[in-house]
Amino acid sequence: MSIELPKLPDSPMSGLIASAVEYLVDAGQRSVLFLDVMRRRGDQYKEHIAQTAPHVLQYAAELIIDGRTLTEPVNYALVRIIPPKDVQINSERRPFIVVDPRAGHGPGIGGFKADSEIGVAMKAGHPCYFVGFLPEPMPGQTIERIARAEAIFIEKVISLHPKADGKPCVIGNCQAGWAVMILASLRPELFGPLIIAGAPLAYWAGVHGRYPMRYSGGLLGGAG
């Protein structure tokens, strides 16, 4: 949209006024465009959050366990990835479970595109599952409760593949890598291979007498 501005007599003041009017018109137009983008963003969010288990995976998914229905509810969910028509899955191969990072709402490398962790695993014939989360945590939710919920998820996947040639391969992306390692230390019998992507683990880091948070985290309720 363009607006033709009235011509004013040539003078320093008229040039200043013309520039000010041009600036105000441009700012107004940009403001309207910005508000329209925000409106569309809000509509998209409302449609997204209305889903039973909202996600931004490229692949279709079937809800297996909604963590909000557990005895200790969490805002996490386990879904089965439905393979594309041109992909053959062998249910007796080791299942893969990709855990989405808690730091952001979206699987990214996990399954946002075909060339992803899920995509590569399915091309090799492995059944794939995804653990994602809703934007809002459940009341009283802690990382310890999430770990227990993820144990239930993995147990369910194991039960769905009794003839699999190995325990599930679990991929933890970013913060999910740390959460998966917590669970693996508590329930090692649930896991096959662990792939910790983008989650540096340095248990030995720190200097004696410094970095007190690494000690107080465990002594003062680190599970929260």
CATH architecture of 61-219: 3-Layer(aba) Sandwich (3.40)
Reading the block at residue 78, the tokens are: 């386990």
Q: Are the beta carbons of 101 and 175 closer than 8 angstroms?
A: yes
Tell me the percentage of the chain whose pLDDT exceeds 90. 38
Residue 102 DSSP class: T
Structure tokens at 107: 């699987």
Distance CA 167, CA 203 (A): 26
Question: Per the structure block, which two tokens stand in for 117?
Answer: 């962790």
pLDDT band at 210 (very low <50, low <70, confident <90, very high): low
How far apart (Å, rounded) are the C-alpha atoms in residues 138 and 38?
27
For 16-71, write each residue's pLDDT tens digit.
888 888 999 999 999 999 999 999 999 987 876 666 555 567 788 889 999 999 99
- CA torsion angle 180 185 187 189 (round to 10): 100
* Global pTM value: 0.69
Q: Which of 163, 46, 149 is nearest to 99 (CA)?
A: 149
User: The tokens of 14 are what?
Assistant: 């008229």
Question: Tokens at residue 211, please?
Answer: 């970095």
Q: For residue 21, what are its two tokens?
A: 């009017």
Angle at 182 between CA 176 and CA 187, to 5 degrees: 120
Quick: pLDDT tens for 90-103: 989 999 999 887 55
Average pLDDT for residues 70-93, to the nearest whole number?
A: 91
Contacts of 138 (CB under 8 A, 6+ apart): 67, 68, 73, 74, 75
Sequence spans of domains, the chain: 1-50, 61-219
What CA–CA distance (Å, rounded) separates 44 from 136?
Answer: 17
Give the span between the Cα atoms of 169 and 204, in whole angstroms: 26
